[in-house]
Amino acid sequence: MYIDSKDGILLDGVIKVYAAYRTARPNESGYYARWGESEAVNPNDDQFNLTARESRFGLEFKGPDLAFLNTRAKMEID
């Protein structure tokens, strides 16, 4: 996504969202599930997870151009 303005400011970014709904609690090790737990042990353990970990937003500022130099600045947030 790029949004450019007349003032030389460019908005840049990517929105990446992961969503998951689980009807049984998994046995997890780190970021992956090994197996689902029995519903007899935890009958009401539904979960909804939402994350935007890999999203990125940035601003690019265009400064004045000189005869031999183009000036710019960029700021990004992950």
Q: What is the pTM of this model?
A: 0.49
Half-sphere exposure of 1 (CA within 13 A, CB side): 10
Categorize the per-residue pLDDT at 4 as very low, low, confident or very high, splitting at 50, 70 and 90. low
Predicted confidence band of residue 3 (pLDDT cuts 50, 70, 90): low
Q: What pLDDT was estimated at residue 6?
A: 65
The predicted structure's pLDDT at residue 5? 58
Domain boundaries, the chain: 1-16+53-78, 18-51
- 59 compared with 22, residue with greater pLDDT: 59
Q: Are 77 and 56 in contact (CB under 8 A)?
A: yes
- Burial environment of residue 20 by CB neighbours within 10 A (0 to 12, 13 to 18, 19 or more): exposed
Map residue 23 onto helix, strand or coil.
coil
User: Mind listing the pLDDT tens digit for each residue in 14-49?
Assistant: 999 999 887 777 777 667 777 777 777 777 778 888
